[in-house]
Structure 1
């Protein structure tokens, strides 16, 4: 694997360079791709050779890979990682190795784990077509080379037949894979028998002993019990992450799965749509001693109800509920026992007020440090109760994608004495326009969160006046990521932001969907010297203006 390191001695204008001893470090990383020690040694070497951004990116990803949401450092790590993604993300493609013929990788940051490219799919995915037998044959034939020359240990197998999946997962090199995604799109009209055969192809393949991540995405009909039984009987010695997604169809009997010996070792579980019967699954999940993260997406009311009555979940630190009406049933979660819960996400529809007000009295509520509520309606009275609740002292990350609270609620959220430790605040008004411009401008002026690092105000009608208030706000001196998409900001507002003495620590600025025709203020590289990621999509900028901006900043095209 030949991977150039990235020197930082020319600001954002990184260039490729190689060193004599770099080859040995990279060879060790490839040969021991499942270990962190060679990666961390390479990070030390990068520091010594003027590539601190890439070095920190590697260290952060290695740390996060083994981090639970209950870890005291979790909010800091995730926020710092987001900053490093902004800085290193545009450069990731420079470190991605060449792949064998027939392979494709998205050379953006999403394909990286623990600092290096980790996932690949077939070239047919890049071409948006269904694979042929010749495609799969080439893919299988190149697997041993992929393992020998890169850090990729995750394959995405989309739209393959069961025979094709089995051919890939029994090819030389498959025994070294640690993560597999098998997806069958709904458009293919697959049947339960097809999906059972896909499961069988995985369960009888070479990947089973070393597999740590298994993700199964099925289009329509759930696999019959025979397929689930086959999966349960597989000898997964190292499996810790399981995803089962079924887009539509009846519930699936997972009793054989929950009785499997390997099921007890799971740490992260994602069950999507109508995949499971809550009365069977949730009590079984509650008994898992190591379960840290649980996603129940589009689940039935019994599944959510069971979360309020099941006893256990000793290690569950992160819980996400998502669906059409999860707020109607989420109130039952308030009675649940979650001794380690630190991150809660609920996405859905309906009235969120009752759920939030019930949460304020839950035993686990003071533990929450990361909270995201999306889609439901929240009133000013609920924000008032929330701001007075026991969650406030420890809350670090708050994301509210809501549509109904107004000036009183915004005034509470802006108050630094109410939220002294909040470091990330995301407010999304993209689905409605209840907020008047004057209210948004006042919020920008009064925002006084003393530890704020990341701020997103999606859709708030700030205009140039609001942008100027943000630029003049001394409480934003620690902000590194600022997102102001769809905020009616023009050239004058952008100029105020760029010239602000309080915003010079920005590494990421998103001003997409505004009224920018030139973004001329950004042409001066002296302003916002740390800026590495810029969102301008949806603005009436000409290609020539964008190219001029990239040249002025010394950014990669």
Structure 2
């Protein structure tokens, strides 16, 4: 448990939660109190929070964080034994807990006496949603995590009846079997005016209709981060978000594993939201979204792409034309990582874009072309063009992915045009593997 004289420092941390300075003052106090490991953990986690994902200082700091947590976690959280399943530290402070829902209802007061809880994850909440919604303790948390809680639409509606959600800043509803009916109920909830972060990922059944209802809601104007990955969002749903006047504060929009297609990417690339997203995070992910050559060309033409350092388009339908269109972009000067796995790239596409790959290898550190349609011929072109430059090129899972230093002869090398002759078979196999997406990107 915290020493009594620590409390003023913790009060300052939580009163100015986004400010690093109260945490650094607290770290100085811990140093003076003979707690150097706890003090260092605060400073290390603050440094990690400020560093980019590819910063060369990150690995050493991450290793040090692991060492410090191993030494301090047990003593720092011993007073929570029997109350919580796990405790997480954010920027040096233990303020996030996972708790069984029945334990929270029975002993929540005790928990809050022992720890300042900012983020609460409730485990197995579905059978107790009515009681949870009636608990005044919910008013004391700022982030509520109900991920994988088996809520369904009915459970979400029960939760939204709670009058104790008005202070929530983050709500995680991922993996809960929600559909458009649940999102529509959420869109009509007037208790969540302070919400800045909303996760609806991997519910599978949310479509563009549900997302349009949320985008039109006047109650979510404060959102800065929205995650709808792993659903059935179409181009109209994506366009509703990027065109929403009520969501003009949004800076993070995660839409992987949907079906926004070329039209959705065009709407995104032409929007102010796209520039805000890349200004906030230089890593852009649009995986498995039925994006074809037209979408790739729209993305390549967008000036905001100049801020991008990592671009992940894995699992789309760019093909030879789309890859070439992307590589011709004049806005890839900062790009360090490009992921184009599962995009139907063929040898002839690599051959035609040889000069484009040559220019790319002068900039990037990683190029992922795994699980395309390359044979020894296409991979040998890449190897020749790379010409010893320090670029990691990933080609595993292609038609013929040779082990390092070895390139056996492919059947398509011996019988030119054979791969084209079996294009129909490839298309059929792709439709079976990806039944939600059509090959024309719609």
Q: TM class, shorter-chain normalised?
A: 0.5 to 0.7
Deviations 1:235-288 (CA, angstroms, capped at 9, x unpaired): 324211112243237765456544443311111111245566754663354322
- Give the aligned partner of residue 101 of structure 1: 82
- Give the aligned partner of residue 366 of structure 2: 425
Cα separation, 2, equivalents of 1:304 and 1:385: 13
Conservation of the 8 A alpha-carbon contact between 2:274 and 2:304:
no
Cα separation, 1, equivalents of 2:359 and 2:126: 56
TM-score by length of 2: 0.66
Partner of 1:233, secondary structure, is coil
* Residue 291 (structure 1) shift: 0.8
Tell me whether 435-444 or 391-400 shows the greater mean CA deviation: 435-444
Conservation of the 8 A alpha-carbon contact between 1:100 and 1:146:
no
Closer, same or farther: CA 402–56 of 1 in aligned 2, 3 Å: farther
* Residue 212 (structure 1) shift: 0.8
2:179 aligns with one of 222, 226, 240: 222
Deviations 1:184-234 (CA, angstroms, capped at 9, x unpaired): 56xx6x7xxx5234233245242x222111122354462637x73465333
1:59 aligns with one of 46, 57, 81: 46
Cα separation, 2, equivalents of 1:115 and 1:351: 41
- Give the aligned partner of residue 289 of structure 1: 248
* Residue 94 (structure 1) shift: 4.0
* Residue 398 (structure 1) shift: 3.3
Closer, same or farther: CA 200–184 of 1 in aligned 2, 3 Å: same
Deviations 1:92-137 (CA, angstroms, capped at 9, x unpaired): 35443243524212x6xxx4433344433235xxxxxxxxxxxx33
Closer, same or farther: CA 224–430 of 1 in aligned 2, 3 Å: closer
Cα separation, 1, equivalents of 2:142 and 2:336: 33
Cα separation, 2, equivalents of 1:144 and 1:156: 16
- Give the aligned partner of residue 199 of structure 1: 157
Cα separation, 1, equivalents of 2:125 and 2:116: 23
* Residue 173 (structure 1) shift: 3.7
Cα separation, 1, equivalents of 2:299 and 2:24: 41
Closer, same or farther: CA 44–230 of 1 in aligned 2, 3 Å: same
- Give the aligned partner of residue 388 of structure 2: 446
Cα separation, 2, equivalents of 1:30 and 1:147: 16
Unaligned stretches of 5+ in structure 1? Answer: 3-19, 65-73, 124-135, 320-337, 450-454, 467-557
Conservation of the 8 A alpha-carbon contact between 2:251 and 2:276:
yes
Aligned length, in residue pairs = 387
- Give the aligned partner of residue 121 of structure 1: 98
Q: What is the correspondence of 1:119-518 to structure 2 with a 5 Å cutoff? A: 119-123=96-100, 136-150=101-115, 152-161=117-126, 164-168=128-132, 170-171=134-135, 173-183=137-147, 195-206=153-164, 208-217=165-174, 219-220=176-177, 222=179, 224=181, 228-229=184-185, 232-245=188-201, 246-248=203-205, 252-253=209-210, 257-274=214-231, 279=236, 282-286=239-243, 287=245, 288-301=247-260, 305-306=263-264, 308-309=266-267, 313-317=271-275, 342-348=282-288, 355-376=295-316, 386-402=326-342, 404=345, 418-419=362-363, 422=364, 425=366, 427=368, 429=370, 434=375, 446-448=388-390, 459=396
Unaligned stretches of 5+ in structure 2? Answer: 407-442
* Residue 295 (structure 1) shift: 1.6
Cα separation, 2, equivalents of 1:178 and 1:390: 43
TM-score by length of 1: 0.54
More strand by share: 1
Partner of 2:220, secondary structure, is helix
Cα separation, 2, equivalents of 1:313 and 1:401: 26
Partner of 2:146, secondary structure, is strand
For the aligned residue pairs, the C-alpha RMSD in angstroms reads 4.8
Cα separation, 2, equivalents of 1:138 and 1:50: 31
Closer, same or farther: CA 257–139 of 1 in aligned 2, 3 Å: same
Conservation of the 8 A alpha-carbon contact between 1:341 and 1:364:
no
Closer, same or farther: CA 40–196 of 1 in aligned 2, 3 Å: farther
Conservation of the 8 A alpha-carbon contact between 1:351 and 1:376:
yes
Tell me whether 303-312 or 86-95 shows the greater mean CA deviation: 303-312
Cα separation, 2, equivalents of 1:160 and 1:50: 36
Closer, same or farther: CA 441–233 of 1 in aligned 2, 3 Å: closer
Cα separation, 1, equivalents of 2:163 and 2:338: 43
2:17 aligns with one of 12, 34, 45: 34
Cα separation, 2, equivalents of 1:366 and 1:282: 22
Deviations 1:32-65 (CA, angstroms, capped at 9, x unpaired): 583533323345668994889735532235547x
Closer, same or farther: CA 148–282 of 1 in aligned 2, 3 Å: farther
Closer, same or farther: CA 379–447 of 1 in aligned 2, 3 Å: farther
